[in-house]
Structure 1
Amino acid sequence: MQRALLASLVGLAASACAYTPEPREQIRIVDSPADVRVCTRLGEVSPVVPTVPGFESATDAMLDATIALGGTHLYLQKNSADWSLVKGIAYRCGPGVRREVVIRAKG
């Protein structure tokens, strides 16, 4: 019984290590400018597009363009009050990006 349990755990651990996420799965989609405040803007990856049914293909294209630019985050900028129109902007966040510098006056 213990050998079967041990074999199952080893098999489960080996299969967990074998998972490699797809490049699109590694891009974080955000909708707040605060999420990319200290990140490097890489460029726009879409014109203003509608978020009506069928938006998945536009999202996939934005994710692919973000990957091509070396981005880590896709910021969906709201271009209408009800989120019916958005624009995609690629950002790179994390190590090696510019950081916000705070300069304090001496008093």
Structure 2
Amino acid sequence: QPDCLEGLLGVCKNLCPCVMVVCEVEANTNATAFMDRFTEALFLYSSIFDCLEACMDGHNPNRMTMEGIYIWQGIQNIITTEGEERTTRHLKIDNWRAFFAKFGMA
């Protein structure tokens, strides 16, 4: 939904929080150009796989579930879908700063 994030930030602002923490990966998988999105996804998921390799055995059932379901779905959504069908989107910190500033929260 196009305005979901705006609505959520509006609600958060109305709560008047003293501190708000956002955890986001440093990648822009929200690019409209396929090659830009593909390159960002490649670097992002390469680092995720590197982390998994360092922390879990390749035959670990939890790792296999993460790779086979969650990570695969994220990659597929970023690479193969367009418009509103694409639900996995990441933004870099500059985008978040501008977004929070728009709501007077930066």
Give the TM-score taking structure 1 as reference length: 0.25
Computing the radius of gyration over CA atoms, which structure comes out larger, 1 or 2? 1
| Structure with more relative contact order (C-alpha pairs < 8 Å, separation 6 or more) | 2
Q: Counting helix residues as a fraction of each chain, which structure ranks higher?
A: 2
Give the TM-score taking structure 2 as reference length: 0.25
